[in-house]
Chains A and B, each alone.
Chain A
């Protein structure tokens, strides 16, 4: 069965510092991969997605993620965080054989230190 693991529950970084949020997935074949962001009191917003092709994908708000098949990882990165990036981030995986369902990780809460 497919699964997603986000090992970091909470991360704090200083404004202007770089960021990397970890995501590992378990799936027998190449999955669809996503990162969503949830601001307090809001729904989830899609940051970026990987379906195929270039393993480095660019998203909105200056985020990028790299798919590494050998490590079953899809880590999210940003070179310089802004205070407005404080939110909850969810990695998600979808099966190509079941195009309608995606499984979400437990989320990583990002705090920004002024």
Chain B
């Protein structure tokens, strides 16, 4: 079975541009998480969904960030407008509540550079 798939793997954009990160969770998983990883702040949970519904977005840094999950197999994280301080690696993870919600499977990440 394929793991969590993220695209693109690398994104370089200029300040002020819109950035969209994509995630395909493991088939059948009902939880999806978005994380951000930086040297300064480590790994931070941004938002998570259960059955496509956002449950907790308290980690989203500001209104420039938004996330959607239109169906069980796809989610997006959008930054508009992007700023240099958004440069980080963004991870998507999914889990199955039956086997253990906390046992999360991570994608390879998207390395975002905003110049």
- 9-residue interface stretch from B13-21, B68-76, B99-107: B99-107
Report the count of interface residues on B (CB-CB < 8 A).
Answer: 21
Question: In the complex, what residue of chain B is closest to A105 when comparing beta carbons?
Answer: B42
Stretch in A18-26, A41-49, A69-77 with 4+ CB within 8 Å of B: A41-49
A90→B43 contact, CB < 8 A: yes
- A45, A100, A107: the one within 8 Å of B55 (CB): A100
Cβ–Cβ < 8 Å partners of A60 in chain B = none
Determine which residue in A34, A90, A99, A101 has the highest number of CB atoms from chain B within 10 A of its CB, and name it.
A101
> In the complex, A102 Cα to B100 Cα: how many Å?
12
Question: Whole-angstrom distance from the CB of A3 to the nearest CB of chain B?
Answer: 12
Taking a contact as CB atoms under 8 Å apart, the answer to whether B106 and A44 are in contact is: yes
- Inter-chain contacts of B106 with A (CB < 8 A): 36, 43-45
Using Cβ atoms and an 8 Å threshold, which residues of chain A touch B4?
Answer: 43
Choose among B31, B91, B105, B107 the residue that contacts A100 (Cβ–Cβ < 8 A).
B31
Say which residue of A41, A42, A45, A94 sits within 8 Å of B102 (CB atoms): A94
Cβ–Cβ contact B103 & A49, under 8 A: yes
Across-interface contacts of A51 in B (CB, < 8 A): 100
Instruction: Give Cα A104 to B48, complex, Å.
Output: 15
Contact of B50 among A34, A36, A100, A104 (CB under 8 A): A100
- Residues of A near B31 (CB, < 8 A) are 100
A32 at the interface (CB under 8 A from B): yes
B residues in contact (CB < 8 Å) with A: 4, 31, 42-43, 45, 48, 50, 55-56, 91, 93, 100-109
- What are the nearest 10 A-B pairs in CB distance? A43-B106, A104-B43, A44-B106, A94-B102, A99-B101, A106-B42, A43-B108, A43-B107, A32-B102, A100-B101
